[in-house]
C-alpha cells in the first residue's frame, strides 16, 4: 500500500525510546487500506484537536447482541477506508496466555478481514481487533469461531471476565483465578452474548489482595483470593533478609497496618488474629512469609467508573467463600444478584448504584446473606434507620 | 472460498493449551520469585523448577506484524509461549535459563524495551481516544507515548519508592483505571454542548436525551422540537452527546486534560484509594502535550524525593497532607479542586489541625 | 410592688466582674497546670501566682437551693467566686492554698462528689427529656443519673486510657453532643406516627406537615382533610410531630435508647470524629434502664482493657477495626448498623483487608 | 409545700452516689407548687414511658422574639402546676463565671417568679430557668433585666454564643475567648432577640484545638484559637518528664499525627513546618511545650445535629484570622455569611446545609475568601466540575 497521507504531527510520535503506536499503524498501513486511512484520519484529529468519530450504530454478527463496537467516521469522504471502522472484541484466554501458533493464525485472519491493527488488550481484557467494515463481520466471525475463538461482551450484558496470572505463575494465589474465569465465562455464555441486563456487569478475579487485575476498582463482581489460618513464617529466610540489608522494622513491622507484627532482631512474630491479610509483609518478604492454608475468596460487589454520581470501589459482600469447581456457590450468588438487579434496576443502572438506591438490607436479604461487620468500614452515624414489623413488639 | 462452519457460544480457548509445560507441571505450586533485572524475574516452584519471565513494553495498539514478531521471538526462546500482563506488557516465559540472556539480547537488537518489574513505572492502562472513540476529549495513545518516552528510565532502570501506576482515559467515562491510579489523565470538556436544532428532531429522542443529563441541565424546547441546555447547570460531562449525536461538545480550544493522583488498587498497607484532582485542566497540545508531561514530572519528582520506601503516591500524600502536597508541588489550588458534587461534604476539612 | 425598669438588649453581665482577682491579674498569662487529685488541679501563672480549681459534680437540673449552697461554699473558701464547666460541673476557684483541703473536706461532708479531671469520665452533656420536652423518646436526666452512679469510680478515682465523654439526647434532634461523643445515648422511636384524623384538619397545616418529612413518607389524604403516612418510608424521626402535634409518635413499648460510640471533638492526634451506631435499640426501662447500663459497661470495660494510653474510644476502635470491636464487645451486628442513608457508600468496606 | 405525689419510680433515682436531679426537684417542690407538680408529672412519664409535654406555643416577653421556650402539659388537669411550664433562657456570662452575690439575687427572683428549678447550663450554654407560667414572664424579665441579665436566643435567630474558659484559666488559649464571646453577643443583640434568619445560628469559641466547648461539632461558626511559629520547647522540662516516668516515645513522639517530632533520649525536636498544631504533645507535656507566638484563630463553619441529612462537623473556611478587639474582620465575615444565607437559605436550612446545596464556590466567592488547601481534607475525586466564562478562552 503506498503512503497516502503526510502525517507531520504523528511522525513526531515515532521518536523517543518507547515503542510507538504510530509506527504500528504505519506498519499495518503499508499493506492495508483501512489502516492507511486510519493514519490520515488520526492525523486530522491531531490537527483539529478533536475526535472525528461518530456514534456507533448497532452492528454485529448473527445470533449475538454484542461483541462488536460499531464506529463511523464523521468525514468519510476524506477517509473512505474508515467510513466504517468497527472493533471486534475477541474473548481472551484466561490470564492472557498464548502461544505463537494460535496467534499467528488469528493475525492472518485479521489481515484478511480487518485493518491489521489490534489492542492487546482492551482494558476490560478482550483481545480487540481494531477496525473493520460491516460486511467483513460475518465472514470474520465464521473464521475465528471455527478456530476456537469467540466474541467477548459489550452492551448491557455480562462483560468479558478477566483475571490475574494467579496459579499460572504466582506464589500468592489462593484460588485458581484462571479456571474460575474460564468456568464462569462458559457458564454465562448466553448472558454475555445476548444483552438482557439493565446495564453492563463485569467480573474480575485476583488470586490475592495484591489485586493485580484491579478487580476492586472496576468489576461489578470482584473475586479476591484470601486465606484463613496463620501466616507461615520461615525464620531462616527472615534472617536472610536481615543479612541482605532489609530494615525489617522500617519496611515491614512499622508498615503493617494493624500493627500485629513484631521483630526482636531475630524472629518475626505475628498476632494472626489481628492480621487483616493486606499482603504487605508477604509481598515484600516473599521468601520468608506465606499465606495461611485454608483458601477461599472474598466477594466484593459494585465498583465502576464515575458516571453518574462518582466512582465506586467494590464492597465486601461475602467475606469468605470456598472456591472449588464447579463454583456452585459463586454461580448461585451471581444468579441471585442478577435476578434482583433485573427486577429493580433502572436502565443504565449498575449493580452498585442499585444497591445504594435500594439499601444494602434489601439486597442482602434477597441474596440471602447475613449482615456482618466485614461489610462495613464503620457503622452508620445517624440515628435514622428502619425496623421490620417482625423485629418489633 | 466458502466460509468455515461458524460456531457460537463456545467461549474463549481453554488457557491450559497456552501454558508452557513448566507451568502446567508447577501450576499453583510456586514458592517465591526474585527480580533479577528491571525486565526479568524468575519464579521458583516448590519442586525447584523455575520459570523466567522477560517483560517487554508494548504500545498496546499493535499491528499483526508486531504480534508475529513476538511469536518469532517466543518460538526461538520459549517454545512459542508468552503472555500479556494486565498492563499490556508482553512476558516471554522461559523455562531454560540458558535462553534468558540471548532472549534479552535479541529483544534489545530489535529495539524493544524491557522493564517495568518492581518499584518502577510500568506500562499505562489506557483507552481508545482519537483512534477509535466518538466520545474522546483527548487522545490516549499519544499521551501514553509521550509520557512513557519522558519517564522511560523509570521503566528500564531507575527505582522509585514503590510502583507508580499511570492511567489515561480520553473522556469522563473513564474506561480503564483512572479513578484508582497513582497518576492519571482524563480528557475533559469545558463548554456545554451546542444543540444542533436542525438535526435533533430527526436524530435524537428528546426524553432520553433529557434523562441522560446527570445535573438536569437539559429541558425540552417544544417550539423547535429540540432541547435547551441550561449552561449554568452543565458540567460538560458529555453524557447527553453519547445519547444524542446532535449535541456536539468537542471544543478544540477548551477541551483538555485533567490530572488526578494518589489512587491505588492494591490492599497492601492501606485500603484502595480513589485518585483526586490536582490539575483541573491542561491544554490539548498534540502531538507532545508539553504542559502535561511537565506537570507529571513535577509530581513524580516530588514523590521520588519525598516518599518513604514502599509508600505509593497516595500514601505519601496522606502522610504529608494535601495542603503540603500543593505546597511542595507548587500546583495552584483553585475552586475546581473543592468538591461540589454529591459527596462534597466528605472532602471538607473538619479539623483545626492542618499544616501551614 | 411595681416592677423595676425593664431593659432590653443589654446582653449578659460582663464576665470580668466574676473573675477572682488572681485571675484578673494573670489573665491570659498561665504557664502550666498540674492535676493534684481527680477533683483538684492547680494552674500556675507566668507570675508564679496559682489558682486551685476544685471540681464538683452537679446533676445540672438543680434547685435554687443547690445554687445557694454553692454560693455558701464559695463565700467560705474562695471569696464567692466559682464557675461551671462546659460539662456542667462546678469549679471552685481558690487562690489561697490553705483553703483547698478544707474546701474539699467541706464538700465531702455535704455529700458532694469531686472528680472528673484527667483521664476519667466526667459529667454528661444532656438534654431535657421527660422533664421538659415534647419530643423526647426517653428521659435524659434519669439516664444520666444511673450511668454516673454506675461509673462513679471513674469520676472520683479510677483512671482510663483517656477522657471518656458521655452524652445523652432524648430524641434524634440530638440537642447536645451525641453525634461526637465517646459513648452516647439517643432516644429513638420505632413506629410511624399515627395520624389523628379528627385533630389534623384544625391543628395542623397540611403542606408544611408534608414538607417536614425527610423521606417523603407523608402525603395528603384529601377525603379526610388529613395526611397519610407511608409506613415503608417512615424512619420514625419524629420531625413531622414537631410540626403537627396530631401525629403522635410515642410508643411506650417500642421507643427506646440507641447507643452510639467512638466520636470525639478535640483535634488531638486524630481529627474530630462522629459517633457510630452500636446498639440500635435498647428498651426504655425506667427508672434504672438496666439494659442500657449493662451495654455501656461492656463497652467501657472493653475499652479500658484494650486501649493504649491516650487513645480515646474512637481511636481505639479505629486501631483495632470495627469488626474486632464487635467481636470483643460481643454486640450483635444487625441490618440497622449498615448505613442506608445519604452517605451510606462512604461506610461500606472497600478493601479485601479486614480481620476475621 | 406538702408532699403531693407518691413517686416510687423517681425515688429510686435518689439512691446512688451521684447527686440526684430528683432530690433537686424535691428540694424545690418543698416550697414551690410548680416544682411539686413537675415531680408528679415526671413520675407519670416514668410510669407511662412517654413524655407528657405538648408543643410549645409562642410565648415570650415584649419586644423579644425569642429567649423563652413555651411548654404545656398534655395532662394539665392532673398536674395544674405545670399546665404552662415555660423555660427562660438567661444569657450566661462568658466562660460560665459567677460570683455568689449575683447568683443569690437571681435565684431569689426565680423562686419568686418560677419553679425554683434551673439548668446550669443548657447545652447551648444558657443559664436555663426551668418552668414558669405565662403571666410571670413579663415581671420576671423586668426584674432580671434591671439587674443586668438579658435573655439568650431561641428560634430562628443567633443563639447564645459560648466559649471555653480560655485566658481565664488555661495556659493554651491563643485568643481571648471570653472577650470575643462577650463582644459578639453585644454586637449582635438584635439578631439574637428578634429571629429573622432562615434557622438558628450558633457561635462557639475555643482557645485552642483542644476545643473544650465542642465548637467544631455544634456551632454554625466555630472559632478555634491557634498559632503560627514554632512550638516553644523547654528541654529541662522534657528531662523532668522523662525522669518522672513518662515514656516519651510511646506517649508523645509516636502519637504525633504528622510524625514531625523526634526524641533522642535527651531532647525533643520538632519539624514545625510539618506540625498540624493538633495540641497532643503540648497537652500531654504542658510544662515542656508551649504553642508558638503568633496568635490567631481558625474559623470553621457549618456544624450541626443530624437532621435532615446527617450531622455535620464544621469546615475550615478561614485558616488564620487575627483576633483583636473590636474583631472587625470576624464581624464583617459574619455579616457576609448571614447576608448570603438570608438570600439563599430555605426555611429551616442551616448555614452548613446551604453551603452544601449551593456549593462551596458560591459561598466563598460571596464572602470573598480564596480557595485554599486548608479547606479540604482532599481534592474532589470525580472529573465533574464547573468553569466560569472568564476562566475559559
Ligand atoms: C475499548 C475500551 C477502552 C479501551 O481502549 O480499552 C472501552 C471503550 C468504550 N467504552 Fe468503556 N471501554 C473499555 C473498558 C472500560 C472500563 C475498564 C474495565 O472494564 O475494566 C471501564 C471502567 C469500569 C466500569 O465498567 O465502570 C469502562 C467504562 C465505560 C463507561 C462508564 C460506565 C459507568 O457505569 O460509569 C462507558 C459509558 C457507557 O457505558 O455508556 C463506557 C463506554 C465505552 C464506549 C462503548 C463508548 C460509548 O459510550 O459508546 C467505548 C467504545 C470505544 C470504541 O470506540 O472502541 N465505558 N470501559 C475498553 C473495553 C475493551 C475490552 O473489551 O477489553
Ligand atoms: C504480571 C502482573 C499480573 C498479571 O496477571 O498480568 C503482576 C505480577 C506481579 N505483581 Fe502485580 N502484577 C500486575 C499488575 C498489578 C496491578 C494492577 C495494575 O497495575 O493495574 C497492581 C495494583 C496496582 C495498584 O495498586 O494501583 C499490582 C500491584 C502489585 C503489588 C503492590 C505494590 C505495592 O506495594 O503497592 C505487588 C507487591 C510488590 O510489588 O511488592 C505486586 C507483585 C507482583 C508480583 C511480584 C507477584 C508475583 O509474585 O508473581 C508479580 C511481579 C511484580 C512486578 O511486576 O513488579 N503487584 N500489580 C501484572 C503486571 C502489570 C505490568 O505489566 O506492569
Ligand atoms: C473546664 C473545661 C473547659 C471549660 O471551659 O469548662 C476543660 C478544661 C480543661 N481541659 Fe478540656 N475542658 C473541658 C471540656 C472539654 C471538652 C468538651 C466536652 O467534653 O464536651 C473536650 C473535648 C472532648 C472530646 O474530644 O470529645 C475536652 C478535651 C480536653 C483534652 C483532650 C483529651 C484527649 O487527649 O483527647 C485535653 C488534654 C488532656 O486532657 O490532655 C483537655 C485539657 C483540659 C485542661 C487540662 C486545659 C488546661 O490546661 O486548663 C483543663 C482541665 C482538664 C481536665 O478536666 O481534665 N481537655 N475538654 C471543660 C471541663 C468539662 C468537664 O467538666 O469535664
Ligand atoms: C434546652 C436544650 C437542651 C438542654 O436541655 O440543654 C434544647 C432543647 C430543645 N431543642 Fe435543641 N436544645 C438545646 C441545645 C441544642 C444543641 C446543642 C448546642 O447548641 O450546642 C443542639 C445541637 C447543635 C445544633 O444546633 O445542631 C440542638 C439541636 C436541636 C435541633 C436540631 C437542629 C438541627 O439543625 O439539626 C432541634 C430541632 C429544631 O430546631 O426544630 C432542636 C430543638 C429543640 C427544642 C426547641 C424542641 C423543639 O423542637 O421545639 C427543645 C426544647 C426543649 C424544652 O422543652 O426545653 N434542638 N439543640 C438546649 C438549649 C439550652 C440552652 O439554650 O443552653
Ligand atoms: S493478584 Fe496476587 S495472586 Fe494474582 S498475580 Fe497479583 S500477587 Fe499474584
Ligand atoms: S498481611 Fe498485612 S496486616 Fe497481616 S501481618 Fe502482614 S502486613 Fe500485617
Ligand atoms: S474513556 Fe471515553 S473516549 Fe475513551 S474509550 Fe472510553 S468512552 Fe471512549
Ligand atoms: S454535558 Fe453532561 S451536564 Fe452538560 S448537558 Fe450534557 S449531560 Fe448534562
Ligand atoms: S434532644 Fe429532642 S427531646 Fe431532647 S431536648 Fe432536644 S429536642 Fe427535646
Ligand atoms: S416520623 Fe419522620 S420519617 Fe416518619 S413520617 Fe414523620 S417526618 Fe416522616
Ligand atoms: S479549648 Fe484550649 S484554651 Fe480552651 S480550655 Fe480547652 S485547652 Fe484551654
Ligand atoms: S502539636 Fe500535634 S502535630 Fe504538632 S508536634 Fe505536637 S503532636 Fe505533632
Q: Residues 263 to 282 of B: which have CB under 8 A from any D CB?
A: 274-278, 280-281
Q: In a structure prediction context, what are the per-residue pLDDT tens digits for chain D, which is 393 residues long?
A: 788 999 999 999 999 999 999 999 999 999 999 999 999 999 999 999 999 999 877 899 999 999 999 999 999 999 999 999 999 999 999 999 999 999 999 999 999 999 999 999 999 999 999 999 999 999 999 999 999 999 999 999 999 999 999 999 999 999 999 999 999 999 999 999 999 999 999 999 999 999 999 999 999 999 999 999 999 999 999 999 999 999 999 999 999 999 999 999 999 999 999 999 999 999 999 999 999 999 999 999 999 999 888 999 999 999 999 999 999 999 999 999 999 999 999 999 999 999 999 999 999 999 999 999 999 999 999 999 999 999 998
Q: Nearest by CB to D93, which of C12, C70, C287?
A: C12
pLDDT of residue C4: 86
Indicate which atom in ligand 1 lies nearest the CA of residue A121: 63
- Reference B214, options B196, B230, B197; nearest CA is B230
Residue from C270, C313, C349, C355 to probe the interface with A (highest A Cβ count within 10 Å):
C349
Q: How far apart are CA C210 and CA C199, in angstroms?
A: 16
Indicate which atom in ligand 1 lies nearest the CA of residue A123: 6
Assigned domain for A171 exists: yes
Query: Which set of grid coordinates corresponds to residue D71?
Result: 411548654
User: pLDDT tier at C1 (50, 70, 90 boundaries)?
Assistant: low
- Reference A302, options A215, A177, A226; nearest CA is A215
Same domain, A369 and A339: yes
Assigned domain for D1 exists: no
Q: How far apart are CA D331 and CA D203, in angstroms?
A: 12
Q: Which residue of C has its CA nearest to A378?
A: C347
Largest CA distance in chain B: 78
Q: Is D278 in the pocket of ligand 11 (CB under 6 A)?
A: no
- Reference A210, options A174, A168, A246; nearest CA is A174
Q: How far apart are CA C109 and CA C103, in angstroms?
A: 10
Q: Residues 270 to 289 of B: which have CB under 8 A from any C CB?
A: 271-272
Same domain, D114 and D38: yes
Query: Which set of grid coordinates corresponds to residue C137?
Result: 423518646
What CATH number is given to the structural domain containing A330?
3.30.413.10
Tell me which of D271, D290, D309 is where a domain ends: D290
Assigned domain for A157 exists: no
C-alpha of residue D364 to centroid of ligand 4, in Å:
28
- Relative to beta strand A294-301, strand C183-188 is unpaired
Same domain, A311 and A221: yes
CB C162 within 8 A of CB C113: no
Mutate to test the pocket of ligand 10, among C209, C210, C213, C230 (most ligand atoms within 8 A of CB): C213
Where does residue C218 fall: left (phi above 0), alpha (psi -120 to 50 degrees), or beta otherwise?
A: beta
Query: Which set of grid coordinates corresponds to residue D131?
Result: 418552668
Q: Which residue of A has its CA nearest to C337?
A: A379
Distances from the Cα of A386 to the Cα of C189, C209, C332, C343, D310, angstroms = 10, 21, 17, 16, 15
Assigned domain for A363 exists: yes
Q: How far apart are CA B142 and CA B171, in angstroms?
A: 14
Shortest distance, CA A228 to any CA of chain B (angstroms): 17
| Interface contacts (A, C; CB < 8 Å) | 160
- Reference B115, options B151, B154, B160; nearest CA is B154
The DSSP code for D74 is: S
Q: How far apart are CA C344 and CA B159, in angstroms?
A: 40
Q: How far apart are CA C204 and CA C211, in angstroms?
A: 12
Q: Which ligand is nearest to the CA of B187?
A: 7
Q: How far apart are CA D206 and CA D212, in angstroms?
A: 6
Q: Is B64 exposed, middle or buried (0-12, 13-18, 19+ CB in 10 A)?
A: buried
Same domain, D104 and D128: yes
- Reference C269, options A225, A386, D278; nearest CA is D278
Range of the domain at A246: 232-290
Domain count, chain A: 3
pLDDT value at B1 more than 70:
no
Q: How many CB atoms lie within 10 A of CB D249?
A: 13
Q: How far apart are CA B115 and CA D299, in angstroms?
A: 50
Q: How far apart are CA D105 and CA A326, in angstroms?
A: 84
Assigned domain for A206 exists: yes
Q: Is D125 in the pocket of ligand 4 (CB under 6 A)?
A: yes
Same domain, D68 and D137: yes
Radius of gyration of chain C measured on its C-alpha atoms = 24
- Relative to beta strand D86-90, strand D127-132 is antiparallel
Q: Nearest by CB to C350, which of B272, B346, B353?
A: B272
**Which residues make beta-bridge pairs with B226?**
B221
User: pLDDT tier at B277 (50, 70, 90 boundaries)?
Assistant: very high
Q: How far apart are CA D213 and CA C144, in angstroms?
A: 20
Q: How far apart are CA B221 and CA B224, in angstroms?
A: 6
Q: Residue of the nearest CA to atom 7 in ligand 10?
A: C213
Same domain, D319 and D255: no
- Which H or E element spans position B147? helix B141-150
Same domain, A18 and A128: yes
Q: Residue of the nearest CA to atom 60 in ligand 1?
A: A122
The CA-to-CA distance between both ends of chain D, in Å, stands at 82
Assigned domain for D108 exists: yes
Q: How far apart are CA C140 and CA B6, in angstroms?
A: 76
Out of A164-168, A213-217, A378-382, B175-179, which region has the weakest mean confidence (pLDDT)? B175-179
Shortest distance, CA D314 to any CA of chain B (angstroms): 6
Task: Find the length of chain C.
Answer: 356
- Reference B324, options D276, A328, C3, D283; nearest CA is D276
Same domain, A286 and A379: no
**Which residues make beta-bridge pairs with B40?**
B37, B54
Q: Nearest by CB to C346, which of B346, B351, B353?
A: B346
Mean pLDDT, range A241-248, rounded to an integer: 97
Q: Which ligand is nearest to the CA of A158?
A: 1
Same domain, D30 and D74: yes
Q: Which residues have CB under 8 Å from D307's CB, separation 6+?
A: C172, C173, C214, C237, C239
Shortest distance, CA B268 to any CA of chain C (angstroms): 8
**Helical packing angle, A328-344 and A360-367, nearest 10°:** 130
Neighbours of chain D (3+ CB pairs under 8 A): A, B, C
Q: How far apart are CA C54 and CA C115, in angstroms?
A: 8
User: pLDDT tier at C93 (50, 70, 90 boundaries)?
Assistant: very high
**What domains can be seen in chain C, in order of their start residue?**
15-109 (3.30.70.3340), 125-190+252-347 (3.30.413.10), 200-236 (3.30.70.20)
Q: D285-310 in b/e burial notation, b at 16+ Cβ within 10 A?
A: bbbbbbbbeebbbbbbbbbbbbbbeb
What CATH number is given to the structural domain containing A286?
3.30.70.20
Q: Which residues have CB under 8 Å from D383's CB, separation 6+?
A: A306, B172, B174, B186, B188, B258, B260, B277
Mean pLDDT, range B88-111, rounded to an integer: 98
Query: Which set of grid coordinates corresponds to residue D385?
Result: 466540575
Q: How far apart are CA B184 and CA B276, in angstroms?
A: 9
Residues of C in contact with D117 (CB under 8 A): 61-64
- Reference D222, options D142, D318, D311, D110; nearest CA is D318
CB B186 within 8 A of CB B260: yes
Residues of C in contact with D98 (CB under 8 A): 18, 81-84
Q: Nearest by CB to B267, which of C271, C272, C352?
A: C352
Q: How far apart are CA D70 and CA D87, in angstroms?
A: 7
Where does residue D356 fall: left (phi above 0), alpha (psi -120 to 50 degrees), or beta otherwise?
A: alpha
Q: Nearest by CB to A306, which of D306, D310, D382?
A: D382
Question: What residue spans of A7-69 are helical by DSSP H?
Answer: 8-11, 21-29, 33-48
Q: How far apart are CA D298 and CA D304, in angstroms?
A: 18
Distances from the Cα of B279 to the Cα of B276, B291, C355, D34, angstroms = 9, 11, 37, 66
C-alpha D151: how far from its chain's center?
16
pLDDT of residue B242: 85
Q: Cis link prior to A326 (omega < 30° from 0)?
A: yes
Tell me which of D113, D146, D179 is where a domain ends: D146
Strands (DSSP E) along chain A, which ranges?
53-54, 68-69, 72-73, 86-90, 97-99, 117-120, 127-132, 162-163, 203-206, 221-228, 232-233, 261-263, 268-270, 289-290, 294-301, 315-321
Residues of B in contact with A117 (CB under 8 A): 61-64
Q: Are D99 and C80 inside 8 Å of each other by CB?
A: yes
Number of H helices, E strands in chain C: 11, 12
- Which H or E element spans position C61? strand C61-63
Indicate which atom in ligand 2 lies nearest the CA of residue B310: 34
Mutate to test the pocket of ligand 3, among C87, C175, C270, C272 (most ligand atoms within 8 A of CB): C87
Assigned domain for D280 exists: yes
Q: How far apart are CA A202 and CA A218, in angstroms?
A: 8
pLDDT of residue D309: 84
- What's the whole-number average pLDDT of chain B? 96
User: pLDDT tens digits, residue range B122-137?
Assistant: 999 999 999 999 999 9
Same domain, D279 and D353: no
Same domain, A257 and A299: no
Q: Residue of the nearest CA to atom 6 in ligand 6?
A: A281
Q: How far apart are CA A69 and CA B9, in angstroms?
A: 18
Q: Is B45 exposed, middle or buried (0-12, 13-18, 19+ CB in 10 A)?
A: buried
Indicate which atom in ligand 3 lies nearest the CA of residue C84: 6
Task: Find the length of chain A.
Answer: 393
Residues of C in contact with D311 (CB under 8 A): 174, 179-180, 274
Out of B28-32, C237-241, D39-43, D250-254, which region has the weakest mean confidence (pLDDT)? C237-241
Rounded to 5 degrees, φ, ψ at A289 are -125, 140
pLDDT of residue C176: 87
Same domain, D64 and D194: no
3-state DSSP call for residue C354?
A: coil
Where does residue B96 fall: left (phi above 0), alpha (psi -120 to 50 degrees), or beta otherwise?
A: beta
Q: Is A210 in the pocket of ligand 2 (CB under 6 A)?
A: yes
3-state DSSP call for residue B31?
A: strand
C51 to chain D, any CB pair closer than 8 A? The answer is: yes
Assigned domain for D329 exists: yes
Q: Is C236 in the pocket of ligand 10 (CB under 6 A)?
A: yes
Tell me which of D290, D309, D328 is where a domain ends: D290
- Which H or E element spans position D40? helix D33-48
Q: How far apart are CA A17 and CA A32, in angstroms?
A: 26
Q: How far apart are CA D208 and CA A226, in angstroms?
A: 46
Mean pLDDT, range A8-25, rounded to an integer: 98
What CATH number is given to the structural domain containing D20?
3.30.70.2500
The DSSP code for A70 is: -
- Reference C293, options C185, C174, C162; nearest CA is C185
Amino acid at each position: 500500500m503506498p503512503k497516502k497521507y503526510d502525517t507531520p504531527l504523528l511522525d513526531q510520535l515515532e521518536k523517543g525510546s518507547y515503542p510507538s503506536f504510530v509506527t504500528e499503524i504505519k506498519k499495518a498501513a503499508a499493506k492495508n487500506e483501512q489502516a492507511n486511512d486510519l493514519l490520515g484520519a488520526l492525523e486530522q484529529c491531531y490537527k483539529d484537536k478533536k475526535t472525528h468519530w461518530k456514534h456507533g450504530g448497532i452492528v454485529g454478527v448473527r445470533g449475538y447482541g454484542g461483541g462488536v463496537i460499531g464506529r463511523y467516521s464523521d468525514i468519510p469522504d476524506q477517509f473512505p477506508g474508515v467510513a466504517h471502522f468497527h472493533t471486534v472484541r475477541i474473548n481472551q484466554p484466561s490470564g492472557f496466555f498464548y502461544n505463537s501458533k494460535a496467534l499467528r493464525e488469528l493475525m492472518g485472519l485479521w489481515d484478511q478481514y480487518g485493518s491489521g491493527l489490534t489492542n492487546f488488550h482492551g482494558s476490560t481484557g478482550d483481545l480487540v481487533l481494531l477496525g473493520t467494515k460491516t460486511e467483513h463481520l460475518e465472514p470474520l466471525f465464521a473464521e475465528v469461531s471455527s478456530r476456537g475463538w469467540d466474541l467477548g461482551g459489550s452492551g448491557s450484558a455480562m462483560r468479558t471476565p478477566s483475571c490475574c496470572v494467579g496459579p499460572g505463575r504466582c506464589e500468592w494465589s489462593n484460588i485458581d483465578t484462571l479456571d474460575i474465569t474460564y468456568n464462569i465465562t462458559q457458564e454465562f455464555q448466553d448472558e454475555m452474548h445476548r444483552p438482557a441486563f439493565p446495564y453492563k456487569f463485569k467480573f474480575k478475579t485476583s488470586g490475592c489482595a495484591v489485586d493485580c487485575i484491579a478487580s476492586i476498582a472496576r468489576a461489578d463482581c470482584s473475586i479476591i483470593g484470601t486465606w484463613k489460618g496463620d501466616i507461615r513464617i520461615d525464620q531462616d529466610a527472615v534472617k536472610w533478609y536481615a543479612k541482605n540489608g532489609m530494615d525489617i522494622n522500617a519496611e515491614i513491622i512499622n508498615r503493617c497496618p494493624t500493627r500485629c507484627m513484631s521483630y526482636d532482631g531475630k524472629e518475626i512474630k505475628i498476632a494472626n488474629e489481628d492480621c487483616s491479610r493486606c499482603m504487605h509483609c508477604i509481598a515484600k518478604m516473599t521468601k520468608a512469609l506465606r499465606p495461611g492454608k485454608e483458601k477461599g475468596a472474598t466477594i466484593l460487589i459494585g465498583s465502576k467508573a464515575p458516571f453518574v454520581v462518582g466512582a465506586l470501589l467494590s464492597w465486601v459482600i461475602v467475606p469468605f467463600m470456598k472456591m472449588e469447581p464447579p463454583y456452585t456457590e459463586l454461580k448461585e450468588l451471581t444468579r441471585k444478584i442478577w435476578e434482583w438487579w433485573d427486577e429493580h434496576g433502572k436502565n443504565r443502572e449498575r449493580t452498585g448504584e442499585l444497591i445504594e438506591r435500594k439499601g444494602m438490607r434489601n439486597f442482602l436479604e434477597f441474596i440471602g446473606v447475613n449482615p456482618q461487620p466485614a461489610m462495613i468500614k464503620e457503622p452508620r452515624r445517624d440515628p435514622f434507620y428502619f425496623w421490620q414489623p417482625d423485629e418489633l413488639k | 472460498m466458502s466460509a468455515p462452519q461458524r460456531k457460537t457460544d463456545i467461549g474463549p480457548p481453554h488457557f491450559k493449551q497456552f501454558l508452557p509445560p513448566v507451568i502446567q507441571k508447577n501450576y499453583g505450586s510456586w514458592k517465591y520469585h526474585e527480580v533479577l533485572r528491571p525486565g526479568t524475574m524468575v519464579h521458583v516452584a516448590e519442586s525447584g523448577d523455575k520459570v523466567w519471565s522477560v517483560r517487554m513494553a508494548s504500545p498496546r495498539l499493535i499491528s499483526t506484524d508486531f504480534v508475529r514478531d513476538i511469536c518469532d521471538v517466543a518460538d526461538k526462546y520459549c517454545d512459542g509461549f508468552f503472555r500479556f500482563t494486565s498492563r499490556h506488557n508482553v512476558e516471554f516465559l522461559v523455562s531454560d535459563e540458558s535462553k534468558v540472556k540471548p532472549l534479552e539480547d535479541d529483544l534489545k537488537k530489535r529495539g524493544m524495551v524491557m522493564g517495568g518489574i518492581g518499584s518502577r513505572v510500568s506500562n499505562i492502562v489506557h483507552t481508545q481516544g482519537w483512534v477509535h472513540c466518538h466520545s474522546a476529549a483527548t487522545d490516549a495513545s499519544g499521551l501514553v507515548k509521550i509520557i512513557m518516552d519522558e519517564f522511560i528510565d523509570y521503566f528500564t532502570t531507575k527505582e522509585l519508592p514503590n510502583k507508580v501506576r499511570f492511567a489515561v482515559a480520553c473522556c469522563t467515562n473513564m474506561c480503564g483505571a483512572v479513578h484508582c491510579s497513582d497518576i492519571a489523565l482524563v480528557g475533559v470538556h469545558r463548554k456545554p454542548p451546542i444543540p444542533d436544532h436542525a438535526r435533533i428532531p430527526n436524530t435524537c429522542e428528546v426524553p432520553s436525551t433529557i434523562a441522560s443529563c446527570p445535573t438536569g441541565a437539559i429541558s425540552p424546547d417544544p417550539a423547535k422540537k429540540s432541547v435547551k441546555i441550561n449552561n449554568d447547570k452543565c458540567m460538560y460531562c458529555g453524557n447527553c452527546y453519547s445519547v444524542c449525536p446532535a449535541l456536539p461538545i468537542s471544543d478544540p480550544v477548551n477541551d483538555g486534560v485533567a490530572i488526578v493522583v494518589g489512587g491505588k488498587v492494591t490492599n497492601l498497607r492501606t485500603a484502595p484509594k480513589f485518585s483526586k484532582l490536582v490539575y483541573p485542566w491542561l491544554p490539548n497540545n498534540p502531538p507532545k502535550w508539553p504542559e502535561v508531561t511537565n506537570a507529571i514530572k513535577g509530581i513524580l519528582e516530588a514523590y521520588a524525593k519525598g516518599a518513604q520506601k514502599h509508600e505509593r503516591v497516595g500514601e505519601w500524600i496522606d502522610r504529608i497532607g494535601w495542603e503540603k502536597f500543593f505546597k511542595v508541588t507548587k500546583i495552584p489550588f483553585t475552586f475546581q479542586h473543592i468538591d461540589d458534587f454529591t459527596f462534597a461534604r466528605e472532602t471538607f476539612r473538619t479539623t483545626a489541625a492542618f499544616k501551614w
